[in-house]
Amino acid sequence: MLKDVQSQYDHRNIYLHRVGVKGVKYPIVVLDKRKGTQSTISSVNMYVDLPRNYRGTHMSRFIEVLNEYHLEINPRRIKEILERLRDSLNATRAVIEIEFPYFISKKAPVTGIESYLEYHCAFNAEMYEDDFDFQVVVTAPIHTLCPCSKEISDRGAHNQRAFCTVTFQSKEMIWIEDIIDIIESSASAPIYTLLKRPDEKFVTELAYDNPKFVEDVARDVALKLSNYGKIEWYKVEVESDESIHLHNAYACVLSKEMSDKIESI
């Protein structure tokens, strides 16, 4: 019989808050508002806590548990995964972070030509005793045009690609597409993968007529999330890859519930 080194007694008396595996590439299936489901490739981090008296955890069991729930990823299944992790590894806390690209077919605004655009999403969940915390992260690329540049310039205005990230916890099922719609409708203009000349003219003029600072985008997204009615708390971050500066512009806003939660820690 092979010796179980991980289960050996450890004399250093130090509790480890997280031990586990990171960057596990794994195929998953997530819910898609238009098609029902979408297959994608995720990067998974999985952790548990480790008592003071154990030397190590059993890393192989993380993959074994993930294999039990392969492909299908939704809040109910994630809760089951965390329960299995705690049982399998004799832990009180279990954490999973699942990052994945999500693709939506978008029509160009004038020609109607379709092409896929990539969005970065994540499901982050933690279970401790009877508490289950589940968060969704959605990042969308957007187009912003500087209001100040437009106001002071005789010709044109500087504009750039930016990214808006919404992290939220919801009271019920929320489609990724709905959050993307909120983000894109709050920007100067949406981003597209394929544009012909009539489309490019339309997007350029749309942005020029709708100038936004990163502060404007963050506040507009926050207002729409607050009015959405299904979200318990949210965090909105907007970062612009500035076209005339070497640095980026950044803005962040927290819902009152999120702000209160942080202050109470």
Question: What domains are there in the chain, each with its CATH number?
Answer: 16-264 (3.10.270.10)
Judged by average pLDDT, the poorest of 46-60, 92-106, 119-133, 171-185 is: 46-60
> Rounded to an integer, what distance in angstroms lies between the CA atom of residue 9 and that of residue 203?
64
Q: Name the average pLDDT for the chain.
A: 90
Judged by average pLDDT, the poorest of 59-63, 135-139, 188-192 is: 59-63
Q: Residue 56 pLDDT more than 70?
A: no
Q: How far apart are the first and last CA of the chain?
A: 47
> Rounded to an integer, what distance in angstroms lies between the CA atom of residue 39 and that of residue 37?
7
> Rounded to an integer, what distance in angstroms lies between the CA atom of residue 159 and that of residue 144?
6
Q: Looking at residue 76, what is its pLDDT? A: 76
- What does DSSP assign to residue 248? P
Whether 249 contacts 239, CB under 8 Å: yes
Provide the whole-model pTM: 0.90
Q: Looking at residue 122, what is its pLDDT? A: 97
> Rounded to an integer, what distance in angstroms lies between the CA atom of residue 119 and that of residue 61?
31
Whether 251 contacts 237, CB under 8 Å: yes
